[in-house]
Amino acid sequence: MPYYVYRVRPFAQLQCLAEFAQFAPASAHAKQLRAAQTTEAGERIRVMHAETALAAEDLLLQIREPGPSGDE
């Protein structure tokens, strides 16, 4: 499964920036983009591992529950 690098903007605006076969180059590309980025409020660079770009976008749009706070 490929790794996709996405720009995630507010209001679920997704932009696929790149696709990689291995994690290391995908992670390096994302780190490079984050370092060079002129950040807009709420904009993030994310790496997703999925079968297709559509599946990666679906994963990015899912609302996740926060993990335990440590007191639980």
Phi/psi for 41 (5° steps) reads: -60, 125
Residue with tokens 């997703």: 48
Strands (E), 1-72: 3-9, 13-20, 44-49
Would the pTM count as exceeding 0.75?
Answer: yes
Percent of the chain with pLDDT strictly greater than 70: 92
pLDDT of residue 69: 82
pLDDT at 65 over 90: no
